[in-house]
Amino acid sequence: MKKKNKPREEKHVLHSIAGSLEEALSENEEEFAEDDVIVVDIPEKTHRVQGKKAFFFVCGLLIIFFTVIGIVSSVIFIKDTVGNAVNKTALKNEFELYLYPLVAVDTPTFEEAATLTNSTVIRAAISKILLTGDISNYEVDTGITYIPELDVEVNAAALFGTDIKIEHETVGSMNERASYNAEKKAYAVANTNRTANYVPKVTNIENVGDTYTLEVEYYPLSPSIPGLDDRNEPVKEMTYVVVKSAGDRKTVTSISFSGENHYGGVDSGSSDLSSAG
Protein backbone atom coordinates (compact mmCIF):
# COMPACT_ATOMS: atom_id res chain seq x y z
CA MET A 1 0.00 0.00 0.00
CA LYS A 2 2.65 2.35 0.90
CA LYS A 3 4.41 1.93 -2.41
CA LYS A 4 1.26 2.83 -4.39
CA ASN A 5 0.66 6.07 -2.46
CA LYS A 6 4.20 7.39 -2.97
CA PRO A 7 3.83 8.44 -6.64
CA ARG A 8 0.61 10.31 -5.73
CA GLU A 9 2.38 12.29 -3.04
CA GLU A 10 5.20 13.26 -5.41
CA LYS A 11 2.68 14.37 -8.02
CA HIS A 12 0.89 16.53 -5.47
CA VAL A 13 4.11 18.24 -4.49
CA LEU A 14 4.96 19.04 -8.11
CA HIS A 15 1.53 20.62 -8.67
CA SER A 16 2.07 22.83 -5.62
CA ILE A 17 5.43 24.07 -6.85
CA ALA A 18 4.02 24.78 -10.30
CA GLY A 19 1.14 26.74 -8.78
CA SER A 20 3.51 28.86 -6.76
CA LEU A 21 5.63 29.69 -9.81
CA GLU A 22 2.55 30.65 -11.84
CA GLU A 23 1.35 32.95 -9.07
CA ALA A 24 4.75 34.63 -8.86
CA LEU A 25 4.97 35.17 -12.60
CA SER A 26 1.46 36.55 -12.74
CA GLU A 27 2.41 39.56 -10.57
CA ASN A 28 2.14 42.98 -12.20
CA GLU A 29 5.37 43.95 -14.00
CA GLU A 30 4.99 47.59 -12.92
CA GLU A 31 4.77 46.54 -9.28
CA PHE A 32 7.88 44.43 -9.77
CA ALA A 33 9.75 47.38 -11.29
CA GLU A 34 8.64 49.71 -8.48
CA ASP A 35 9.78 47.21 -5.86
CA ASP A 36 13.29 46.61 -7.30
CA VAL A 37 14.32 50.03 -8.86
CA ILE A 38 15.25 52.93 -6.51
CA VAL A 39 14.83 56.37 -8.05
CA VAL A 40 16.78 59.20 -6.34
CA ASP A 41 15.40 62.66 -6.89
CA ILE A 42 18.14 65.41 -6.49
CA PRO A 43 16.60 68.76 -5.69
CA GLU A 44 17.29 71.61 -8.17
CA LYS A 45 18.65 73.77 -5.31
CA THR A 46 21.46 71.27 -4.72
CA HIS A 47 22.54 71.57 -8.38
CA ARG A 48 22.67 75.36 -8.08
CA VAL A 49 24.77 75.28 -4.91
CA GLN A 50 27.26 72.91 -6.46
CA GLY A 51 27.47 75.12 -9.59
CA LYS A 52 28.17 78.22 -7.51
CA LYS A 53 30.90 76.42 -5.58
CA ALA A 54 32.58 75.35 -8.83
CA PHE A 55 32.31 78.89 -10.20
CA PHE A 56 33.85 80.49 -7.10
CA PHE A 57 36.58 77.84 -7.04
CA VAL A 58 37.55 78.64 -10.64
CA CYS A 59 37.45 82.39 -9.90
CA GLY A 60 39.69 81.84 -6.89
CA LEU A 61 42.22 79.96 -8.99
CA LEU A 62 42.22 82.74 -11.61
CA ILE A 63 42.73 85.42 -8.93
CA ILE A 64 45.67 83.50 -7.46
CA PHE A 65 47.12 82.95 -10.94
CA PHE A 66 46.95 86.62 -11.94
CA THR A 67 48.22 87.71 -8.52
CA VAL A 68 51.29 85.53 -8.95
CA ILE A 69 51.82 86.93 -12.46
CA GLY A 70 51.52 90.48 -11.09
CA ILE A 71 54.04 89.85 -8.33
CA VAL A 72 56.52 88.26 -10.75
CA SER A 73 56.09 91.12 -13.25
CA SER A 74 56.59 93.71 -10.50
CA VAL A 75 59.75 92.00 -9.28
CA ILE A 76 61.13 91.85 -12.85
CA PHE A 77 60.24 95.52 -13.45
CA ILE A 78 61.90 96.66 -10.21
CA LYS A 79 64.95 94.55 -10.94
CA ASP A 80 65.27 95.96 -14.48
CA THR A 81 64.71 99.54 -13.28
CA VAL A 82 67.31 99.27 -10.54
CA GLY A 83 69.70 97.46 -12.89
CA ASN A 84 69.36 100.16 -15.54
CA ALA A 85 69.92 102.89 -12.96
CA VAL A 86 73.02 101.13 -11.65
CA ASN A 87 74.34 100.52 -15.16
CA LYS A 88 73.75 104.16 -16.18
CA THR A 89 75.52 105.41 -13.05
CA ALA A 90 78.46 103.13 -13.80
CA LEU A 91 78.53 104.40 -17.40
CA LYS A 92 78.53 108.02 -16.22
CA ASN A 93 81.43 107.28 -13.89
CA GLU A 94 83.29 105.58 -16.73
CA PHE A 95 82.87 108.60 -19.03
CA GLU A 96 83.75 111.07 -16.28
CA LEU A 97 87.07 109.33 -15.74
CA TYR A 98 87.74 109.23 -19.47
CA LEU A 99 86.88 112.91 -20.02
CA TYR A 100 88.63 114.15 -16.88
CA PRO A 101 91.95 114.97 -18.63
CA LEU A 102 90.14 116.96 -21.35
CA VAL A 103 88.01 118.89 -18.87
CA ALA A 104 91.02 119.46 -16.62
CA VAL A 105 92.86 121.47 -19.29
CA ASP A 106 89.61 123.00 -20.62
CA THR A 107 90.00 121.63 -24.14
CA PRO A 108 88.43 124.03 -26.66
CA THR A 109 85.41 123.23 -28.80
CA PHE A 110 85.91 121.43 -32.10
CA GLU A 111 83.94 119.54 -34.72
CA GLU A 112 86.89 117.60 -36.09
CA ALA A 113 90.01 116.63 -34.16
CA ALA A 114 92.15 117.59 -37.15
CA THR A 115 91.31 121.25 -36.51
CA LEU A 116 92.83 121.22 -33.01
CA THR A 117 96.14 122.95 -32.51
CA ASN A 118 99.24 120.85 -31.96
CA SER A 119 99.70 122.24 -28.46
CA THR A 120 96.10 121.41 -27.52
CA VAL A 121 96.55 117.77 -28.46
CA ILE A 122 99.87 117.48 -26.59
CA ARG A 123 98.52 119.16 -23.44
CA ALA A 124 95.46 116.91 -23.39
CA ALA A 125 97.62 113.78 -23.86
CA ILE A 126 100.02 114.82 -21.06
CA SER A 127 97.03 115.62 -18.84
CA LYS A 128 95.69 112.10 -19.43
CA ILE A 129 99.04 110.58 -18.47
CA LEU A 130 99.45 112.66 -15.30
CA LEU A 131 95.85 112.46 -14.03
CA THR A 132 94.70 108.95 -14.96
CA GLY A 133 97.83 107.09 -16.08
CA ASP A 134 100.69 105.22 -14.43
CA ILE A 135 103.93 107.21 -14.23
CA SER A 136 105.69 105.01 -11.68
CA ASN A 137 108.22 103.74 -14.25
CA TYR A 138 109.14 107.12 -15.69
CA GLU A 139 112.51 108.74 -15.14
CA VAL A 140 112.45 111.30 -12.33
CA ASP A 141 115.21 113.86 -11.68
CA THR A 142 115.08 116.63 -9.05
CA GLY A 143 111.34 117.15 -9.16
CA ILE A 144 111.06 116.63 -12.92
CA THR A 145 109.31 113.67 -14.53
CA TYR A 146 110.25 112.71 -18.09
CA ILE A 147 107.34 111.45 -20.17
CA PRO A 148 108.38 109.56 -23.33
CA GLU A 149 107.10 111.10 -26.54
CA LEU A 150 105.76 107.72 -27.64
CA ASP A 151 103.43 107.65 -24.61
CA VAL A 152 102.21 111.13 -25.50
CA GLU A 153 101.37 109.92 -29.01
CA VAL A 154 99.57 106.83 -27.70
CA ASN A 155 97.46 108.87 -25.25
CA ALA A 156 96.66 111.48 -27.87
CA ALA A 157 95.31 108.69 -30.09
CA ALA A 158 93.28 107.33 -27.16
CA LEU A 159 91.54 110.69 -26.88
CA PHE A 160 91.22 111.92 -30.46
CA GLY A 161 91.62 108.83 -32.62
CA THR A 162 94.47 107.13 -34.43
CA ASP A 163 94.46 109.66 -37.27
CA ILE A 164 95.72 112.44 -35.03
CA LYS A 165 99.26 113.63 -35.77
CA ILE A 166 101.70 115.35 -33.41
CA GLU A 167 104.72 117.54 -33.99
CA HIS A 168 106.56 117.41 -30.68
CA GLU A 169 107.23 120.79 -29.10
CA THR A 170 107.24 122.56 -25.75
CA VAL A 171 103.72 123.49 -24.65
CA GLY A 172 101.97 125.21 -21.79
CA SER A 173 103.05 127.97 -19.45
CA MET A 174 104.14 128.39 -15.84
CA ASN A 175 103.32 125.32 -13.70
CA GLU A 176 101.58 123.60 -16.63
CA ARG A 177 104.60 123.78 -18.86
CA ALA A 178 105.82 120.60 -20.58
CA SER A 179 109.28 121.15 -22.07
CA TYR A 180 110.18 118.89 -24.95
CA ASN A 181 113.68 117.38 -24.77
CA ALA A 182 114.64 116.22 -28.26
CA GLU A 183 117.71 114.41 -26.97
CA LYS A 184 115.74 112.30 -24.51
CA LYS A 185 112.70 112.16 -26.82
CA ALA A 186 110.63 113.02 -23.79
CA TYR A 187 108.67 115.82 -22.13
CA ALA A 188 110.05 117.27 -18.89
CA VAL A 189 107.15 118.02 -16.56
CA ALA A 190 107.32 119.37 -13.01
CA ASN A 191 105.94 116.96 -10.44
CA THR A 192 103.58 119.71 -9.31
CA ASN A 193 102.02 119.87 -12.76
CA ARG A 194 98.96 117.81 -11.87
CA THR A 195 96.43 120.51 -11.07
CA ALA A 196 93.08 120.34 -12.86
CA ASN A 197 91.28 123.52 -13.84
CA TYR A 198 87.93 121.72 -13.73
CA VAL A 199 86.43 118.34 -12.94
CA PRO A 200 83.57 116.82 -14.97
CA LYS A 201 80.13 115.62 -14.04
CA VAL A 202 78.17 113.76 -16.72
CA THR A 203 74.52 114.74 -16.29
CA ASN A 204 72.98 112.99 -19.28
CA ILE A 205 73.85 110.21 -21.72
CA GLU A 206 72.16 109.46 -25.03
CA ASN A 207 73.43 107.03 -27.59
CA VAL A 208 72.68 105.77 -31.07
CA GLY A 209 74.60 102.56 -31.47
CA ASP A 210 78.22 103.20 -30.47
CA THR A 211 77.92 107.00 -30.66
CA TYR A 212 77.32 108.63 -27.27
CA THR A 213 76.24 112.23 -26.72
CA LEU A 214 77.16 113.43 -23.24
CA GLU A 215 76.09 116.53 -21.34
CA VAL A 216 79.04 117.44 -19.10
CA GLU A 217 79.11 120.06 -16.36
CA TYR A 218 82.42 121.72 -15.43
CA TYR A 219 83.11 122.25 -11.73
CA PRO A 220 86.05 124.26 -10.37
CA LEU A 221 88.44 122.34 -8.18
CA SER A 222 88.89 123.80 -4.72
CA PRO A 223 92.58 124.54 -4.08
CA SER A 224 92.16 123.87 -0.37
CA ILE A 225 90.78 120.34 -0.58
CA PRO A 226 91.99 118.48 -3.68
CA GLY A 227 89.90 115.68 -5.17
CA LEU A 228 87.09 115.02 -7.60
CA ASP A 229 84.37 115.43 -4.96
CA ASP A 230 84.90 119.18 -4.38
CA ARG A 231 82.02 120.43 -6.46
CA ASN A 232 80.02 123.55 -5.71
CA GLU A 233 78.35 125.17 -8.70
CA PRO A 234 79.13 124.31 -12.33
CA VAL A 235 80.98 126.90 -14.36
CA LYS A 236 79.60 125.75 -17.70
CA GLU A 237 78.07 122.79 -19.51
CA MET A 238 79.51 121.25 -22.64
CA THR A 239 78.33 118.57 -25.07
CA TYR A 240 80.77 115.78 -25.91
CA VAL A 241 80.29 113.23 -28.67
CA VAL A 242 82.22 110.03 -28.01
CA VAL A 243 82.41 106.90 -30.15
CA LYS A 244 83.00 103.55 -28.45
CA SER A 245 84.52 100.86 -30.61
CA ALA A 246 85.76 97.30 -30.19
CA GLY A 247 87.69 96.57 -27.04
CA ASP A 248 85.91 99.44 -25.24
CA ARG A 249 88.07 101.95 -27.09
CA LYS A 250 86.76 105.52 -27.01
CA THR A 251 87.32 108.51 -29.28
CA VAL A 252 86.11 112.09 -28.72
CA THR A 253 84.79 113.31 -32.06
CA SER A 254 83.52 116.74 -31.02
CA ILE A 255 83.12 119.19 -28.16
CA SER A 256 80.57 122.02 -28.21
CA PHE A 257 78.71 124.33 -25.87
CA SER A 258 75.51 122.79 -24.59
CA GLY A 259 72.30 124.10 -26.10
CA GLU A 260 71.08 124.72 -22.54
CA ASN A 261 74.30 126.30 -21.30
CA HIS A 262 73.39 128.82 -18.60
CA TYR A 263 76.88 129.32 -17.23
CA GLY A 264 78.33 131.79 -19.67
CA GLY A 265 79.54 131.58 -23.25
CA VAL A 266 83.26 132.14 -23.16
CA ASP A 267 85.31 129.34 -24.68
CA SER A 268 88.24 129.89 -22.35
CA GLY A 269 89.97 126.76 -23.57
CA SER A 270 90.29 128.04 -27.11
CA SER A 271 91.96 131.31 -26.20
CA ASP A 272 94.21 129.75 -23.61
CA LEU A 273 95.45 126.86 -25.68
CA SER A 274 95.77 128.65 -28.95
CA SER A 275 98.28 130.97 -27.39
CA ALA A 276 100.20 128.17 -25.66
CA GLY A 277 103.57 127.40 -27.14
Across the chain, which has 277 residues, the per-10-residue mean pLDDT values are: 55 59 55 52 61 74 79 64 64 95 95 95 95 92 94 97 94 87 95 82 94 95 53 86 90 89 46 35
What is the per-residue pLDDT for 60?
81
What is the per-residue pLDDT for 54?
74
Asked if residue 152 belongs to a domain, the reply is: yes
Asked if residue 233 belongs to a domain, the reply is: no
Asked if residue 207 belongs to a domain, the reply is: no
What pairs with residue 180 in β-bridges?
187
- With beta carbons less than 8 A apart as the criterion, state whether 239 and 259 touch: yes
What is the per-residue pLDDT for 252?
97
Asked if residue 17 belongs to a domain, the reply is: no
Q: Please give the backbone phi and psi of residue 207, each rounded to the nearest 5 degrees, phi first.
A: -140, 150
Asked if residue 147 belongs to a domain, the reply is: yes
What is the per-residue pLDDT for 19?
61
Give the Cβ contact number of residue 208 at 10 Å: 7
- With beta carbons less than 8 A apart as the criterion, state whether 241 and 266 touch: no
- With beta carbons less than 8 A apart as the criterion, state whether 136 and 228 touch: no
Asked if residue 50 belongs to a domain, the reply is: no
Q: Please give the backbone phi and psi of residue 213, each rounded to the nearest 5 degrees, phi first.
A: -105, 120
What is the per-residue pLDDT for 154?
96
Asked if residue 72 belongs to a domain, the reply is: no
Domain that holds residue 120: 114-190
If one counts the domains in the chain, the total is 1
Global pTM exceeds 0.75: no
d(CA 178, CA 186): 10
Asked if residue 236 belongs to a domain, the reply is: no
